[in-house]
Every structure is written in C-alpha cells, then in structure tokens.
Amino acid sequence: MPKRRWPALDFFRRLRPASPGAHELSPQDAFRAQREHMVEDQLVRRGIRDPRVLAAMREIPRHLFVPGEDRGLAYEDMPLPIGRGQTISQPYIVALMTELLQLKGGEKVLEVGTGSGYQAALLSVLVRQVFSMERYEPLAQQARDTLAHLGYRNVTVLAGDGSRGLPEQAPFDAILVTASPPSVPPPLLEQLAPDGRLAVPTGPSGGQRLELWTRREAEWDHEDILSVAFVPLIGQYGWSHERSR
C-alpha cells in the first residue's frame, strides 16, 4: 500500500508556533500550558461539559502518544498520523465520544482501535477497567509500552479483530470505536450490558456519522450525533481490505 501523505502537516510542522512565554517554561510546563489551552479553546468553547472528561484531558500527556516529528502539534485542533495508516483523533472528537459514554468511574469499557493508546489512557483514569483492541500488533505493542511507562495499569491491550468485540470479557458498560465500519457491528451491540452505551462512527469515507447506541434490555436506543471522518475499521464486521482502500 502506498505511504499516506499528509501535505497539510508539512505546513504546520514548519510553522509550529510556540506558546506565549514558552521560552521561559520547562518543556513539561510548556506542554501543560498547551493542554490547558486545548481544553479551554477546543473543548469547553465547543460545549464539552463533563468535569471528569475535562480534568482527564488536562492530565493525560497527549504529546507522549504522538510520534516524535509531530509531538509539537499534539495539542493542535487536528488528527495526526501515528503509522500504519492510522491516526490519533482530533482532541474535540476524543472528548466528545468519551463524554457521550456518561462514565461514572466503576465501569468496564471496551475500546476498538487502540492506535497509539491515547484514548485508552483517557478512559483508564475515568473507569475501573479498560480492554482495548488493535488490529496491528506493532501498534498494540507500542501502545502497551507507552501505557506501562506512564503507569496506566488498568488497561489491557489485545491484538485482534475489534469488529467482533471481546466476548470472553463481555458484557461491557461502555464501548467506544475509533474506526468506522460500514454499519454498527452486531457483536458490539450484543456485548453491551443493560443501559450500556456504544459510541461508533459508521459509513464510508466522506459520509460517516457518529452514532450513540444505548441498550435497553433486548432493545437499543439510537442517536445520530454529527458528521465525522475516521479511518476504516477492518474486520469480519468491518470493511474488507479491498473495500477499505
């Protein structure tokens, strides 16, 4: 597969503005200031209200989940490539999808699409236990290493077909999918606990919608949230290799 190009990133990499007074701050303090700006300008201003989600977004060092050449862009309002044709999602979308789950702290959560591990880290400070599935073993291992290094101990990263869910650990109080299948995978709906919530983008490139599903015993409530753009979810209940290109 040809290497994916990100021409807009080349422009931002050259500009890469410094935060006001950044020359007076340690790198750690400079990144903390960028996180605060991200939360206030990108999240609060756009309507993210859950105080636990906002606190987690302020805490998690997003830049450590971004490849080195783009680390200075980690808190910008954009997705970023992380290798294998995958991305770390735009901060606002991460916060929105997390807020939609209405997490209280005692949940067991499944994430489909580990990527760099940033979303799993965010979930780890909000819930009791996180299982995260990644199709590409190299990304899964890199995420394991980063999460372990940063001390997020309640996350288990597994390599496999996330479109099938993780039946041996079901039911889940919440499921979050960070890649887009053609439609909601039936196994994920079945693996929701009663009153469990599933946030998932569905549809082809250029026509994806973020959906929220809530289980009510044998039925599911459905909400259409907004238009989004995610990489395709490959798997038995996702896209085939051929259709995803």
Residues annotated as catalytic are 89
Retrieve residue 6's tokens.
């990100």
Q: Are 94 and 155 in contact (CB under 8 A)?
A: no
What whole-number distance in Å separates Cα of residue 103 and Cα of residue 116? 22
Q: Are 117 and 145 in contact (CB under 8 A)?
A: no
From first CA to last CA, the distance across the chain in angstroms is 9
Of the candidates 203, 204, 198, 208, the residue with the CA atom closest to the CA atom of residue 228: 208
DSSP 3: P
Retrieve residue 239's tokens.
């896209």
Of the candidates 111, 110, 107, 74, the residue with the CA atom closest to the CA atom of residue 89: 74
Tell me if residue 176 falls in helix, strand or coil: strand
What whole-number distance in Å separates Cα of residue 66 and Cα of residue 242? 28
Q: CB-side exposure of 109: number of CA atoms within 13 Å? A: 33
> What does the H/E/C string look like for 33-92?
HHHHHHHHHHHHHHCCCCHHHHHHHHHCCHHHHCCHHHHHHCCCCCCEEEECCEEECCHH
